[in-house]
């Protein structure tokens, strides 16, 4: 058990160090700070509508940044190891490929979570300055967003072992943003299509990563209250199950990979 924890700890630390020493992520955090600070100081003369717009803009920004970081981190877990040939000393150590994959995934998720926590801390701070307060839906929204990031990292990680890095980033971004914006409309859309395309659309709906399940922005902005605890739990379970399937497929791909 000690060995397991030390190995996982080493891989997690590596992902953290990599993320926080990357110039693009550092730039993103500075950008978030630069954009959120004026939001917190904005005084919409007590007009709740204007304040909602600010909230919506800030939350969309957090979603975009978190997706960028999750995909960037997940997709960089293995390709640089192959390119720089560090995969050889890595896998020559007394650690199985499955454990390397699991440790790297945990590292990428926790590093992405740390960036997300930073964004939400900024958002929460700006919300407090504008008279907002912590609510149950806020904590639900944050928890679902964290679960989404874990899912997005697993999708990018799987893609990184199957296709080229640029194709992986493009496909993962299209799949996740496509489902985020249009996922809930796919069943209706399928009804309007003829047989082969309708089946294809239903297949995409069945196997695609449902990013829209995790989006609580509207509830948060309009104060519609928290979702039912059962629904919340099912969505978290969906994220866990989807991530597990992606990791299992990634482990199989890594095991079969010729080095």
**Within 10 A of 59 (CB to CB), how many other CB atoms are there?**
21
259 binds another protein (CB under 8 A): yes
Q: Which of residues 19-38 bind another protein (CB under 8 A)?
A: 21-22
Kindly tell me which of 185 and 257 has the beta carbon lying closer to another protein.
257
Among 46, 89, 196, 230, binds another protein (CB under 8 A): 89
Identify the sign of the CA torsion 121, 122, 127, 129. positive
Among 3, 43, 114, 218, binds another protein (CB under 8 A): 3
88 binds another protein (CB under 8 A): yes
Q: Are 105 and 247 in contact (CB under 8 A)?
A: yes
Compute the distance between CA of residue 134 and CA of residue 254 in angstroms, rounded to an integer.
43
Contacts (Cβ under 8 Å, ≥6 apart) of 130: 40, 42, 51, 54
256 binds another protein (CB under 8 A): no
130 binds another protein (CB under 8 A): no
List b or e across 67-105, with b for residues whose CB sees 16 or more CB atoms inside 10 angstroms: bbbbbbbbbbbbeebeeeeebeebeeeebeeebbbbbbb
Draw the binding track, 48-87, toward another protein (x: CB under 8 A; -: no contact): ------------------------------------xxx-
Among 45, 92, 166, 195, binds another protein (CB under 8 A): 92
Q: How far is the CB of 45 from another protein (least distance, A)?
A: 47
Which residue ranges make up the site for another protein (CB under 8 A)?
A: 2-3, 6-7, 9-11, 13-14, 17-18, 21-22, 84-86, 88-96, 258-259
């Amino acid at each position: 058990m000690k060995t397991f924890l030390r190995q996982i700890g080493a891989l997690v630390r590596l992902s953290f160090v990599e993320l926080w020493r990357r110039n693009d992520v550092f730039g993103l955090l500075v950008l978030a700070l630069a954009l959120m600070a004026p939001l917190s100081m904005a005084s919409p003369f007590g007009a709740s509508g204007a304040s909602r717009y600010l909230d919506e803009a800030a939350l969309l920004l957090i979603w975009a940044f978190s997706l960028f970081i999750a995909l960037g981190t997940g997709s960089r877990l293995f390709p640089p190891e192959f390119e720089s040939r560090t995969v050889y000393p890595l896998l020559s150590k007394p650690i199985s490929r499955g454990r390397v994959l699991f440790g790297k995934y945990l590292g990428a998720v926790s590093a992405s979570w740390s960036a997300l926590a930073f964004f939400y801390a900024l958002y929460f701070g700006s919300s407090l300055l504008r008279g907002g307060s912590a609510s149950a839906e806020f904590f639900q929204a944050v928890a679902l967003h964290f679960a989404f990031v874990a899912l997005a990292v697993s999708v990018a990680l799987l893609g990184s072992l199957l296709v080229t890095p640029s194709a992986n980033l493009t496909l993962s971004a299209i799949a996740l943003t496509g489902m985020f914006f249009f996922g809930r409309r796919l069943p209706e859309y399928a009804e309007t299509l003829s047989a082969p395309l309708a089946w294809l659309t239903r297949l995409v709906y069945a196997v695609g990563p449902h990013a829209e399940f995790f989006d609580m922005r509207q509830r948060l902005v309009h104060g519609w209250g928290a979702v039912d605890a059962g629904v919340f739990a099912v969505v978290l379970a969906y994220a866990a199950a989807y991530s597990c399937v992606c990791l299992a497929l990634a482990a199989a791909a890594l095991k079969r990979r010729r080095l």
